[in-house]
Amino acid sequence: MPASKACVERTQIAARAAVDKFGTELVALDLSDQTVLSEVFLIVTASNSKIIDTIADEVEEQLRLVGDKPLRREGTDEWVLLDYSDLVVHIQSTELRRYYMLDRLWNDCPKIELDVVREEAARG
């Protein structure tokens, strides 16, 4: 069973927030058939620690506006994890994204098309 419509909608909100604060290389993975812990991983790359924090803050704010708050926020200078139970947002530095390769680790999971990524590709 694919990720719930509500979770996908919140993923779209989080993705737009990340791009608005200079997040790149966004990938949303539908984990609903793989794990009972989360439905979606949203993975975002940021170029430095300040941008990582800025993206995390904006994702939290935009999801708060639709009535959601994270169960926990963990992080270092190079990685912030926002856990919304069914949605987990990973914001990583370029180096950690290459090192951990979460996209490759979960490559058997379907990707969720992100509106903001499609719109940016259309713009060129």
pLDDT in tens, 52-63: 999 999 999 999
- Quote the DSSP letter at residue 2: P
The torsion angles phi and psi of 27, rounded to 5 degrees, stand at -140, 130
The rounded distance, in Å, linking the Cα atoms of 117 and 104 is 19
Q: Quick one: pLDDT band at residue 98, thresholds 50, 70, 90?
A: very high
State whether the Cα torsion 9-52-45-36 is positive or negative: negative
* Greatest Cα-to-Cα distance within the chain, rounded to the nearest angstrom: 38
Contact 113, 64 (CB under 8 A): no
User: What local confidence, expressed as pLDDT, does residue 35 receive?
Assistant: 64
Q: Which domains can be identified in the chain, with CATH numbers?
A: 5-115 (3.30.460.10)
Q: How large is the average pLDDT for residues 2-26? A: 96
Q: How large is the average pLDDT for residues 104-118? A: 91
Strand boundaries in the chain, DSSP class E: 24-30, 40-46, 72-75, 79-83, 87-93, 111-112
Q: How large is the average pLDDT for residues 25-53? A: 91
User: What local confidence, expressed as pLDDT, does residue 1 receive?
Assistant: 73
| Residue type present at position 121 | A
